[in-house]
Amino acid sequence: MKILITGSNGMTGQKIIYVCHGKSNIQLIATSKGANRTQLKDGYIYESLDITNESEVEAIFKKHQPDAVINTAAFTNVDACETKRGECKKLNVEAVEYLIKSCEKYNAHLIHLSTDFVFNGENGPYIETDTPEPQSYYAQSKYDSEQLLIKSKIKWTIIRTIIIYGVVDDNSRSNLVLWVKNNLEKKQKINVISDQFRSPTLAEDLAGACINAALKKATGIYHVSGKELMSIIDIAKIVADFFGLDASHINSVTSAQLNQPAKRPPVTGFILTKAKHDLDYHPKSFLEGLNLIKSQLEKF
């Protein structure tokens, strides 16, 4: 199967490259904006692709004619989306329209990443059939992109996920786990939210689910996350404990006290039954994920 991914320099994109490596049943075309920053360079084709450029999207589809496309590219800074609304809409919504158009023309299956933030967070954990109610511009943009797929004529899959954690090759991208670890190592105080609950998702697990959706031709909406639902402050304390760092630098704050630009849902988390059944999705525990990260960080 010929699989094309977008945003291959990002967290999920890089992990998809590694998950596909050595799989003889997959021919991978990795694309991202600018040069290839994934260390592994063999076993796949890399093309520079800005998905907000409609003619570039069309040209890449024409050249490679993929069977499946996994769209990991997105404007993922939730607070920045509040102020940079035009940029957010261009990447998270309009570019998805271009991908859908090309998927329709070349009969490709589109697998699109979305978020737990489409829900209002009042009734988590959520199942795929629960009704979304986005609370921020980012969340609305991801919801709008979901609607484009749902209303399209193409074969589509929406994979919603929650707080992705992992290590990218150049260690250039942060996430909750690395942010906590890096700050506590420098003995810096951090304010961590006590009244929001999430199920952190190991990037490798998510990448595997995306590939399985393509290989199994699974269509529809899927919830893919870690299996433990924890408060964000408890996640931070587990990270501190795991890496032997001083948790007294973690300062507990409420969402109201932190007052972030974008409103967040209080409790998300997913019911994973459908993904387990259809995508053979069996996520690692949070501690297993931290062990993997620890071994990856030893390379730097």
Ligand X SMILES: NC(=O)c1ccc[n+]([C@@H]2O[C@H](COP(=O)([O-])OP(=O)(O)OC[C@H]3O[C@@H](n4cnc5c(N)ncnc54)[C@H](OP(=O)(O)O)[C@@H]3O)[C@@H](O)[C@H]2O)c1
| Strand, coil or helix: 230 | strand
How buried is 43 (Cβ within 10 angstroms: 0-12 exposed, 13-18 middle, 19+ buried)?
middle
- Name which position in 47, 50, 169, 278 contacts ligand X (CB under 6 A): 50
Task: Look at the block and give the residue holding tokens 């995306």.
Answer: 210
Q: Which of 139, 168, 200, 164 is nearest to 32 (CA)?
A: 168
Per CB under 6 A, the list member of 33, 181, 263, 264 interacting with ligand X is 33
The residue among 65 and 174 lying less far from ligand X, judged by its C-beta, is 174
Choice from 115, 140, 157, 212 touching ligand X (CB under 6 A)? 115
Q: How far is the CB of 74 from ligand X (least distance, A)?
A: 3
Question: Any contact of residue 76 with ligand X (CB under 6 A)?
Answer: yes
Applying CB under 6 A, the span of 26-34, 191-199, 230-238, 265-273 interacting with ligand X comes to: 26-34
Q: Is 113 near ligand X (CB under 6 A)?
A: yes
Does 91 engage in binding with ligand X (CB under 6 A)? yes
* Least separation in angstroms between CB 33 and ligand X: 4
First to last CA, the chain: 34
- Considering only residues 157 through 186, tell me which ones interact with ligand X, judged by CB under 6 A: 161-164, 173
d(CA 57, CA 59): 5
Residue linked to tokens 């998702």: 201
Nearer to ligand X, 25 or 35 (CB): 35
Nearer to ligand X (CB atom), residue 138 or residue 242: 138
Residue type, 175: N
Name the residue with the smallest CB distance to ligand X. 10
From 10-18, 101-109, 213-221, 264-272, span contacting ligand X (CB under 6 A) = 10-18
SS3 category, 148: helix
For tokens 């890096």, name the residue. 182
Q: Tell me how crowded residue 276 is: count the other CB atoms within 10 A of its CB.
A: 15
The stretch near ligand X (CB under 6 A) out of 43-51, 126-134, 180-188, 283-291 is 43-51
Asked if residues 174 and 168 have their Cβ atoms less than 8 Å apart, the reply is no
- Regarding 12 and contact with ligand X (CB under 6 A), the answer is yes
Q: In the complex, what is the shortest distance from the CB of residue 115 to ligand X, in angstroms, rounded to a whole number? A: 4
Binding segment toward ligand X, per CB under 6 A, in 28-36, 212-220, 257-265, 279-287: 28-36
Shortest separation between residue 251's beta carbon and ligand X, angstroms: 22
Q: Rounded CA gap, 216 and 231, in Å?
A: 34
Tell me the C-alpha distance between 164 and 38, whole Å: 18
Separation between Cα atoms, residue 11 and residue 230, nearest integer Å: 22
Q: Are 265 and 121 in contact (CB under 8 A)?
A: yes
Residue 51 interacting with ligand X (CB under 6 A)? yes
Query: For binding to ligand X (CB under 6 A), which residues are involved?
Result: 6-7, 9-13, 32-34, 49-52, 72-74, 76, 91, 113, 115, 142, 161-164, 173
